[in-house]
Amino acid sequence: MRSTLLIPALAAIVAALPAPAPQEIDLDLFVNIPTPTIIQVTGVPDQTSTYDTKAILASATAASSISVAITDAAASTPSVVKRAACAAEPVGYGPVTNQPNDDAASFLNNPVYGNTAKSAAIPVGYQQTFSNLNASSSAYGYITFTNLKSYNTTQCALKCSKAAGCMGFNIYFERNPSKTPDKTQCPNPASLTQIRCVLWGGAVTTANTVNTGRKWEQFQVVVAGSNGYVSQNIAAPSGYSDATFLDKAAINAPFDTLGYNTYMGSKLFTSGPFNATLCAEACNAQNVYNLAHPPTDGSPVQTCQFFNTYIMSLNGKTALGQYCAMYSSAWSNKYATNTGAWNGNDRYTIGSSYTFFNSTNPGTTPNAAAAIAQAKEEIGVSSLQNYCSTFLGYNDLNAYATATSTRVPVSTVTSTSTLKIKASSSSSTVSSSVSKASSSLSKRAVASSIPTPTPLTKYPGSILSSACSMLVTSVPKTATVTVSTATVTGATSRSTVVKTITTTTR
Ligand SMILES: *[C@@H]1O[C@H](CO)[C@@H](O)[C@H](O)[C@H]1NC(C)=O
Ligand SMILES: *[C@@H]1O[C@H](CO)[C@@H](O)[C@H](O)[C@H]1NC(C)=O
Ligand SMILES: *[C@@H]1O[C@H](CO)[C@@H](O)[C@H](O)[C@H]1NC(C)=O
Ligand SMILES: *[C@@H]1O[C@H](CO)[C@@H](O)[C@H](O)[C@H]1NC(C)=O
């Protein structure tokens, strides 16, 4: 198994890490996505929807992931073939209900459909998501459907396994007219029963199984014995490991043991079947860009070696798109602890979550050079050079600490005999507070008695020492030290790079 490659690389990351996980689901990517329409399976069986993956990729990886031209999956549904009034409809092979009447109520009350559905086998490589509903699914990324000759879940699963991008299927009995209904000539023909096998590019769930049927002239189309299954496996993009299935959770990676943030940003795809290769290509595009624009300070280039991709859904119902979170090194499934996010009253949930790592290089972790570069950048952005002076022992504590006004996130400088920076959980405006700290501690004592400012607690002393040495040379004995309260959570320049990339129109 290629996945054993991951173990040595990750073995080091076991210690409890002090800092919070540095990535959050970027809900801004979802703001302009329209609610997908419910898809009715009609028309010609075995007519597969096609998607332009280049266009999908280009739209999501361009500068703004938000201004994506959305191709609604419904538009790709095969068009309904116009048939002559009262012409024969496709032959159905399911048991027909005409007792006590040939109507929807009798169909729904016929136990044969439910009994078949409940006793159906769970195909190898699939997981059952629901059993015996009276509705069909409308999941993410419609692919195709087939009318089967028997209610055979294994047969439907084989079709799914063969169809590129198929993540799940829905199999059910549908009450259909034997003739095309016509307003005057045959408004309510005798019924037949189709056994539908419908393939989807996203997870097939109870929540998205809501199509109870429709009225066709006087004829009532209804559904019974509907079962749902999702794939436990999806194809690995070339050069990547096999998929690791994380189900309903996303990776919530901490900083690495040296404090480095391996998270590189995210992409969102909003049409077409779930396709891990889209993420692999987004990773690659990011790498091409990053390698072409290396950091000017000589610090290492961050490249994407691992990604987590999943379907994001709104309020447990609507699949919004395929999300890709990119990382510079691999994380094991024990970090799959993020099960979604709230935005006001809206709940964003995760499904069909998988990870993949670059099979020749799952990323270097921990990465001292990268951690030092990040620490240096963070100290600069947070104006914590003064802490460095003290940390390195250049300075004694004849210092004035001045807090300047800032909005979010906030650290406050408190008045104590040692310089102490305390994180405040609320965001508020801190007015200037001045504390005179006087002491005649020795250099050594000073360095060890200084509490580390919150943003820097994730770094071990060796990393801080290296980063500080690059920033601070020497400070006069009686320096006036000004500490600004600006705190930065995470390495901002990295996410900026992600947002400005424009490499993908090919
Ligand atoms: C399906 O319909 C039948 C008949 O109306 C009903 O007894 C059954 O509870 C329904 N099943 C579900 C899951 O709603
Ligand atoms: C279901 O389909 C599979 C694959 O086509 C076949 O091997 C199997 O015999 C079928 N099962 C039944 C009960 O017909
Ligand atoms: C997935 O994306 C790749 C790369 O764009 C493409 O070649 C492939 O056909 C796609 N697969 C599906 C099922 O759309
Ligand atoms: C895997 O990583 C190596 C080293 O960074 C890189 O050269 C290679 O292109 C990567 N493979 C893929 C498929 O991205």
Residue 10 amino acid letter:
L
Compute, in angstroms, the gap from residue 225 CA to the centroid of ligand 2: 18
Instruction: Using alpha carbons, list the distances in angstroms from residue 54 to 281, 304, 432, 480, 503.
Output: 10, 20, 53, 58, 13
Comparing CA positions, the residue from 307, 150, 274 lying closest to residue 204 is: 274
**Sequence-distant (≥ 6) Cβ neighbours of residue 31 within 8 angstroms:** 66
| 118: enclosing H helix or E strand | helix 111-118
Domain boundary among 339, 366, 393: 366
* Cα pseudo-dihedral 489, 493, 494, 495, rounded to 10: 70
**What is the DSSP secondary structure assignment for residue 186, as one 8-state letter?**
B
Cβ 375 vs Cβ 269: under 8 Å: no
Domain end call among 333, 366, 399: 366
Q: Residue 156: in which H helix or E strand, if any?
A: helix 153-162
Domain count, the chain: 3
Cα 139 to middle of ligand 1, angstroms: 22
Q: Which of 361, 364, 367 to mutate to test the pocket of ligand 4 (most atoms within 8 A of CB)?
A: 361
Q: Which atom of ligand 1 is nearest to the CA of 133?
A: 13
Claim to verify: residue 224 and residue 100 sit in the same structural domain:
yes
Rounded distance, CA 166 to CA 164, Å? 6
Looking at 340, 366, 392, the residue that finishes a domain is 366
Q: Which ligand is nearest to the CA of 133?
A: 1
Contact 170, 206 (CB under 8 A): no
**Is 74 part of any domain?**
no
The domain of 318 spans 1-32+48-58+240-366
* Ligand 1 center to 212 CA (angstroms): 11
**Residue 41: partners with Cβ closer than 8 Å, 6 or more residues away:** 77, 136, 145, 196, 198
Q: Do 397 and 349 reside in the same domain of the chain?
A: no
For residue 383, is it within any domain?
Answer: yes
Per-residue pLDDT of the chain (506 residues; tens, 9 = 90+): 333 223 222 222 222 233 456 667 776 666 665 555 556 666 666 666 666 666 666 665 442 222 222 122 222 333 344 567 899 999 999 999 999 999 999 999 999 999 999 999 999 988 898 999 999 998 877 888 999 999 999 999 999 999 877 889 999 999 999 999 999 999 999 999 999 999 998 778 888 899 999 999 999 999 999 999 988 767 778 899 877 888 889 999 888 999 998 998 888 888 777 888 899 999 999 899 889 888 887 788 999 999 999 988 888 777 888 899 999 999 998 999 999 888 888 888 898 899 999 999 999 888 898 899 888 888 888 888 888 888 887 654 433 332 232 332 323 222 222 222 222 333 322 222 223 333 333 344 444 567 888 888 888 989 988 888 888 765 444 434 333 333 333 333 222 222 222 222 22
SS3 444: helix
150 CB within 6 A, ligand 2: yes
| Verdict on whether the full-model pTM lies above 0.85 | no
Same domain as 362, residue 259: yes
Query: How many angstroms is it from 108 CA to the middle of ligand 1?
Result: 7
Decide if 179 is inside a domain.
Answer: yes
Q: Which of 130, 133, 134 to mutate to test the pocket of ligand 1 (most atoms within 8 A of CB)?
A: 134
